[in-house]
Amino acid sequence: MAAQDVKIFLKEAMERIKNLMAQEKWAEAHRACLEILRFDPENLQIIRLAGKIEKIVKNLNIKSIKSDIKSLDPLWSEGRYEELLENLKHLEPYIKEYPPLKQLILKAQEGYRKKVVQEQDGYYQEEKKKLEEMIREKKFQDALRDAEKLRLLNLHESELRSITERIKKQWLEDEISQNKILLEGEKYEEILLFLQHLKSRG
């Protein structure tokens, strides 16, 4: 290609890029720059123009990210952390471009964790009331079963251990009280079976 032809080609390409930029067709404009750089890799004008487009696109992305983050304000104020995390997950690929995004994601994860713990604690307190009611009503077997289920939450472990021991102790005392006549009698075989039954229950 003659020097004059190259000059005309570059001039037309430059006009095309500027037109695409004017129409805010940034991806097409950037692609056109790269096409020229494949043909003329040391063209400083095009290198600068490609850099300018990249900077504009980066600023537009950041502006868009900030707008998306702003739209999540109601979710923050209402403590809807699960939805927040779903929305922030879509923005995750832009963490490199907008580093504050990482802190927001961590903040939402921490908020979600605290909310789950709070909800579990509320559930625990309700179930604890039911346990106390069962103990009062001497429904020891049901109380023991529910206490074991609660232990799976890994909350208030020492308190639950104490409640479990109290259920077993009261259950044992109740069984002994109900079988006082048997234990004071001389039916040794029945007494032995009864004591084995108590022992097997732990």
Using one digit for the tens of pLDDT, what is the confidence trace for 147-183?
988 888 888 889 999 998 898 888 887 777 766 666 6
Measure the CA–CA gap between 116 and 106, rounded to whole angstroms.
Answer: 15
The set of residues, in sequence order, having a beta carbon less than 8 Å from that of 128 and lying 6+ positions away, is 150, 163
The set of residues, in sequence order, having a beta carbon less than 8 Å from that of 97 and lying 6+ positions away, is 58, 61, 62, 65
Contact 37, 46 (CB under 8 A): yes
Q: What's residue 200's pLDDT?
A: 64
User: Number of helices (H) and strands (E), helices first, in the chain?
Assistant: 10, 0
CA nearest neighbour of 32 among 11, 45, 14, 44: 14
pTM reported for the whole predicted model: 0.59
Compare 168 and 86 and report the one with higher pLDDT: 86
